[in-house]
Chain A
Amino acid sequence: MEISSKLIRFSPHEVENHLELSLRQAYNNLQPKLRPPFSLEIPDPQEYLELNKAIVYGVLSDSGSCKTHIKHLHALVTDGYAFFTSLLVGIVVEFYGKLVDSAKIQLLWATKEMIGVSSVGLEDLIVSLLRRIGSGDYSDQNLWLCSELVSLFLENWDCLLEEFPLVLTSALYSFLRLLADHCRVIGVAKLENVKRLEIRFCVKMFREEPDLCLKIGRDLLRLLQDLVHVPEFREIQNGLVVNRCTSSRYFFLRITPEMEIQLRFLLGNVKLGSHKRHQMWFLKKFLLGPEKETVLIDIVRFVCCVIHPTNETIRSEIMPRWAVIGWFLELSKQSQHIERSVKLALFYDWLFFDERVDSNIMNVEPAALLMVWSIPQYPQITHSLLEYLLNLVESYELSRRDMVARGVASAFRDIERKGVIRSLDILIKNAAVASDLKKKLAKLLAPVNLQQLSIPSEKTLPSSEAVLKECSTKVVGVVDNPDQKLGQFC
């Protein structure tokens, strides 16, 4: 007899999830063996897997006997908890949203148990949970998860630091990004406590583990820029320089698995011209609702830095990245702040571009193509992007302006050299592009910018703030030799 699930909400018109079904079946089949006295016999490999499944189901569905189940697991385990942990990851990735509330609570409990034993694959489990914190979602459910996770990092600090330090770096990325949203929202009382914890965790990271913070790479600065209005972060940002490319693993953190699947499908399978329904569905599922459009920033960064289509896809009729990003840019216009941040996300790798690291070209390609392909029909998009980029270079503080100008100029040159666009003349000599922008662009691209790099004097060197004294002397890619630093870190 089938026993209905105690883990997920039942929906009569939905196929059963294979993973959930296999956990439930294992639990039902092995129930007699899940109660003490436990068998002293060593299970065969197949039985071992089934017992793991049964215990996962027992732990998640029955808070009353979860401690017994975990004790059973401790007595049984021979693989460093790898299979048990991978089952939890599967649950989070495949159907976290469908779990009943009590199962979510148990899932977090089991995660803490796995931290206690430093289980194999724990990083994946924690990262998959971080990805489940929704953007612009101020429901009780979501704030609960956010607060549970940030507390988990604070409470298990020492253990995580010793065994899985990069998990703390991932958490920092997530919470800095979430804080930028959380600090802008006014009038959500429940958010105050979460915000306080998030700030505490992030500040602790900067104070105690500055080197770990810098492991994020240059996107750390982008995240901090959105927090300048938060007093705790003002000092931290001062004097922080980091040129290291951001590893793509961080860009997954604010993108849910469902969003990732749909973005990859949109950019890998849907043809330009017959994309409207898919676009509408994506919009409806992920972007409609107050505050939801904040995730556009993360999506654009994800598309630029993670989804790199093959040449075959590029040559096909499949939706190109620049077209999808053009649409995201339109959507972002509802809020000035989001629009600015989306543009920064789009151009961020331009600022630090180094033609000697060729993997970068795919990160800057969408912005270049969007500017060029918009000229005939939407010259205002080209104008607004080019204007933004050139202003961005100019608005940089003196100490970094040369470096940034050099980055943007090399990005343009490399785009031309690699044939992403045939010639930069399409921008510099186009009647549809405003003449002041063309002049500025020509000036930026003049050879002088590529050779003359002013060497900053002592005065313009980043000040080492008390908080970051440690890291600003160690890793801070002080701009004394930008050539070398850029090459070294990327």
Chain B
Amino acid sequence: MSVFLKDIVPAAQNNINTRFIVLDKARSSATAGANGKSCIALAADETAAVHIQLWGDECDAFEAGDIVKLTNGIFSYVRNSGLVLRAGKRGKMEKMGEFTIAFVETPNVSEIQWNPDPENPKRYIQNGAVSAYSRVFPPLP
């Protein structure tokens, strides 16, 4: 089932199916380790924005304005990148279109403070936003 970005919650599971539009992309860094280069990008849909992490040839495959379908993605903390949505080893990102999503840049679910749910420590719940907009990719003036 496909979900909106406002509804994704950090978890150690490869089960997020969604689609979003890439808004901006940082330069890729070759220092990401043995797996090759990676880069962080800003993505959004009609409900929220999120930071995504692209790996290897994904970095060049997607441009700002591309609509991407994510299958079996994962939303979790990655060292040096923060809370990011990515395909991971079991997921897949594919370009499915361009341009035609009217997106919002706030809230950004990567800029939300998530705390463990006291009733179910395996789950996270929202505990306020660190920043309304992305601090890595500030909104255009």
Interface of A is mostly: helix
Contacts of B58 on A, CB cut-off 8 Å? 13
Contact B100 A262 (CB under 8 A): yes
**A 251-295 to B, binary, CB cutoff 8 A, 1 in contact else 0:** 000000010011001000111001011101110110000000000
Contact A261:B99 (CB < 8 A) given known A13-B57, A277-B140, A281-B65: yes
In chain A between 1 and 49, which residues have their CB closer than 8 angstroms to a CB of chain B? 11-15
Contact of A269 with B100 in the complex, beta carbons under 8 Å: yes
Residues on B with C-beta less than 8 A from A277 are 23, 64-65, 140
Residues in B with CB closer than 8 Å to A285 are 65, 98-99
Chain A 192-234 near chain B by CB (<8 Å), digits 1 or 0: 0000000000000000000000000000000000000000000
A14, A261, A276, A281: the one within 8 Å of B95 (CB): A14
Query: Are A262 and B99 neighbours in the complex by a CB distance under 8 Å?
Result: yes
A13, A261, A269: the one within 8 Å of B94 (CB): A13
**Nearest-Cβ distance from residue A39 to partner chain B, whole angstroms:** 38
Give the contacting residue for A12; candidates B23, B57, B96; CB below 8 A.
Answer: B57
Interface pair A281/B140, CB less than 8 Å apart: no
Distance (whole angstroms) from the CB of B23 to the closest CB of chain A: 6
Is the CB–CB distance between B94 and A14 below 8 Å?
yes
Number of chain B interface residues as a range: 10 to 19
Contact B61 A12, beta carbon cutoff 8 Å:
yes
Query: In the complex, what's the smallest C-beta–C-beta distance from B101 to chain A, in angstroms?
Result: 9
How far apart are the CA atoms of A274 and B140 in the complex, in Å?
9
Distance of A11 Cα from B57 Cα, bound (Å): 11
B50 to A: closest C-beta gap in Å: 16
Task: Tell me whether B94 and A281 are in contact (CB under 8 A).
Answer: no
Q: A277-B23, A277-B140, A278-B99 are in contact. Are A15 and B94 (CB under 8 A)?
A: yes
**Which among B23, B62, B65, B105 has the greatest number of chain A C-beta atoms within 10 A?**
B65
Q: Is B93 positioned at the interface, with any CB of A under 8 Å from its CB? A: yes
Confirm or deny: B102 has a beta carbon within 8 angstroms of a beta carbon on chain A. Answer: yes
A269→B102 contact, CB < 8 A: yes
In the complex, the answer to whether A271 meets B102 with C-beta atoms within 8 Å is yes
Residues on B with C-beta less than 8 A from A276 are 140
Given contacts A277-B23, A277-B64, A285-B65, contact A15 B102 (CB under 8 A): no
Q: B65: shortest Cβ distance to chain A, in Å? A: 4
- A interface residues, how many (CB within 8 angstroms): 21
A282 / chain B contacts, CB cutoff of 8 Å = 99
Whether B69 is near chain A, meaning CB under 8 Å from some CB there, is yes
Which one, A11, A13, A262, A270, contacts B93 given CB within 8 A? A13
- Cross-chain contact of B102 among A261, A262, A270, A284 (Cβ < 8 A): A270
Closest-CB distance, A278 to chain B (whole angstroms): 7
Given A276-B140, A285-B65, A15–B95 Cβ distance below 8 Å? yes
- Chain B residues with CB under 8 Å of A12's CB are 57, 61
> With A11-B61, A12-B57 in contact, is A261–B100 under 8 Å at CB?
yes
- Chain A residues contacting B102 (CB-CB under 8 Å) are 265, 269-271
User: In the assembled complex, which residues on chain A have CB atoms less than 8 Å from the CB atom of B100?
Assistant: 261-262, 265, 269
Q: How far is the CA of A282 from the CA of B98 in the complex (A)?
A: 10
With contacts A261-B99, A269-B100, A276-B140 known, is A13 near B61, CB below 8 A? yes
A199 CB → nearest B CB, Å: 36
Which residues does B use to contact A, with CB under 8 Å?
23, 57-58, 61-62, 64-65, 69, 93-96, 98-100, 102, 104-105, 140
Query: 7 closest pairs, A vs B, by CB?
Result: A13-B61, A281-B65, A15-B96, A15-B94, A269-B102, A276-B140, A14-B95
Apart from A12-B57, A14-B94, A15-B95, 19 more pairs, CB < 8 Å: A11-B95, A13-B61, A14-B61, A258-B98, A261-B99, A261-B100, A262-B99, A265-B102, A270-B102, A271-B102, A274-B105, A277-B23, A277-B65, A277-B140, A278-B99, A281-B64, A282-B99, A284-B65, A285-B65
